[in-house]
Amino acid sequence: MRFRRRPVPRGAVALVTGASSGLGRAIAVALARDGAQVVVHGRDERRLARTARDTGGIPIAADLADPAQVRRLADEALRRAGRVDVLVHNAGVGWAGRFTDMPDNAAGRLLAVDLAAPIALTRSLLPPMLARGSGSLLFVTSIAGRTGVAGEAVYAAAKAGLDAFAESLRLELRGTGVTVGVLVPGVVDTDFFERRGAPYERRRPRPLPPERVAEAAVRAVAEGAAEVHAPRWLRLPVVVKAAAPGLYRTLAGRFGEHV
């Protein structure tokens, strides 16, 4: 029997980064369906306008690699929506290939968007949540940050850092009314892989529809969950790596480490 999940509080204001397409768009649509007012962020203004139109949301374009634009995003979200109750850190960039082949400026941009920007945006929007005694932070990380991935060393490092930041913040905010959750997705059927420079070509695991992963994200927000994997079996390699790291590395080397 499948139980209906608890909805996000109707009227809550949710800021979703990276919402112009893919998983971010699907999360924004799911939140709006629950009755949340969404503020949608992205860089592609045409696609962002479409997401805003489909969700009744407020579009704000910004390049998260620029700290000044991160601050502007926070200020404009508060000015136009009045408050932010739910902050979903979904925006991210990737790069695939050997680390020694990575262009000089690619690592800095990836770390800025995937790690520095979520920290800075949280720093700007967390104080009002603490003042109200309620709020929800959701960080979209990756299985790459839990296990490591050959060919994506910097991306995996950024996601691991985001995981550690979220875990530390969760401990710090205990009892404040502000929840901190992490969504750990595997392969999602979006154009992320083409944008990172290498399409996803493995037969298994099969990519999940972004709408299915978005439901997991909204469930994490609604229930205040500390951690949600999508798909759920994705916990298994993490458990194996923690319990038997030698065995995990042997299996990873034999069956492939690339996502």
Cite the active site residues.
Answer: 155
Answer for the pair 178, 129: CB distance below 8 angstroms, yes or no: yes
H or E stretch including 202?
A: none
Helix (H, G, I), strand (E, B) or coil at 139: strand
**In 136-230, alpha helices (H):** 143-147, 153-172, 192-196, 210-223
Helix (H, G, I), strand (E, B) or coil at 143: helix
Beta-carbon count within 10 A of 241 CB: 18
What's the distance, CA 254 to chain centroid? Answer: 30
Strands (E), the chain: 13-16, 37-42, 58-61, 86-89, 135-140, 178-185, 227-230
**Of 122, 114, 140, 145, which Cα lies nearest the Cα of 228?**
140
Torsions phi, psi for 253 (to 5 deg): -65, -30
Does a cis peptide bond (omega within 30 degrees of 0) precede residue 237?
no
